[in-house]
A and B are shown apart, each in its own frame.
Chain A
Amino acid sequence: MDENREAATGGQRYTDRRGFLKTVVLAGTTLATAGIPLAAYFVSPALEKGGGRWVDFGAVADLNDGETAMLSFEYMVKDGWQVLPQRGFVWARRGPGEAVKVMSSTCTHLACNVIWKPERQVFECPCHTGIYDAEGRPISGPPARPLAVLEHKIEDGKLQVYLTA
Chain B
Amino acid sequence: MTGSGKPSGGILEWLAIRNAVEKLGAQRVWSDALSWTRFTGSLALALLVLLCLTGVFMAFNYTPVPGTAYDSVDFAQFSLPFGGLIRGVHHYAWNLLLMVMGLHLARALVVAGYQPPRELTWISGLLIMLFIPVFIITGDLLPWDQKGFWSTQVRTSIMGSVPVAGDWMVRLLQGGPRTGIVALTRFYVLHLLVLPGTLLLLVGLHFHFVAHRGVSEPLFSTRERRQVSLFPTMVNRWLLLLLIITVALGAVAYLWPVPLGDPADPTDSNYIPKPEWWVLFLNQLVAIFRGPLMVLGTAVIPGALAAGLMVLPFIDRGPERHPLRRKAMLTVIAAIGLVLLVLSIMGYLEHYGPPPA
A residues adjacent to B (C-beta < 8 A) = 42-43, 45-48, 50, 70, 72, 74, 77, 79-82, 84, 86-89, 105, 110-113, 115, 126-129, 141-145, 165
Contacts and interface: CB of A to CB of B under 8 A. Distances in A.
Interface in B112-171: 150, 153-154, 156-158, 160-161, 168, 171
23 contacts: A45-B176, A46-B171, A70-B269, A74-B267, A79-B176, A79-B182, A80-B181, A80-B185, A87-B267, A89-B269, A111-B153, A111-B154, A112-B153, A112-B154, A112-B272, A115-B269, A127-B154, A127-B273, A128-B287, A141-B287, A144-B291, A144-B294, A165-B177
Among B185, B267, B356, the most chain A Cβ lie within 10 Å of the Cβ of B267
A84 B66 contact: yes
B286 interface: yes
Given A110-B286, A115-B269, A144-B290, A165 B157 contact: no
Nearest to A74: B267
Contact of A86 (B178, B273, B286): B178
A48 B290 contact: no
B175 interface: yes
A48 B182 CA distance: 11
Minimum-distance CB pairs A-B, first 9:
A144-B291, A79-B180, A80-B182, A111-B157, A45-B175, A46-B171, A87-B267, A126-B272, A110-B157
A109 to B, nearest CB: 8
B147 to A, nearest CB: 14
Interface residues on B, range: 35 or more
B172 interface: yes
B181 A82 contact: yes
Interface of chain B, helix or strand or loop or mixed? helix
Contacts of A165: 177-178
Contacts, number: 88
Contacts of B156: 111
Given A79-B182, A112-B154, A165-B177, A142 B287 contact: yes
A46 B174 CA distance: 7
B20 to A, nearest CB: 23
B266 interface: yes
Contact of B269 (A43, A47, A74, A105): A105
Contacts of A72: 267
Given A79-B182, A84-B180, A144-B290, A110 B269 contact: no
A80 to B, nearest CB: 4
Contacts of B272: 112, 126-127
A126 B355 CA distance: 11
Contact of A48 (B168, B177, B267, B350): B177
Nearest to A143: B290
Given A79-B176, A79-B180, 16 more contacts: A43-B172, A70-B269, A72-B267, A77-B178, A80-B182, A80-B185, A87-B267, A88-B267, A89-B267, A112-B154, A129-B350, A129-B356, A142-B287, A142-B294, A144-B291, A144-B294
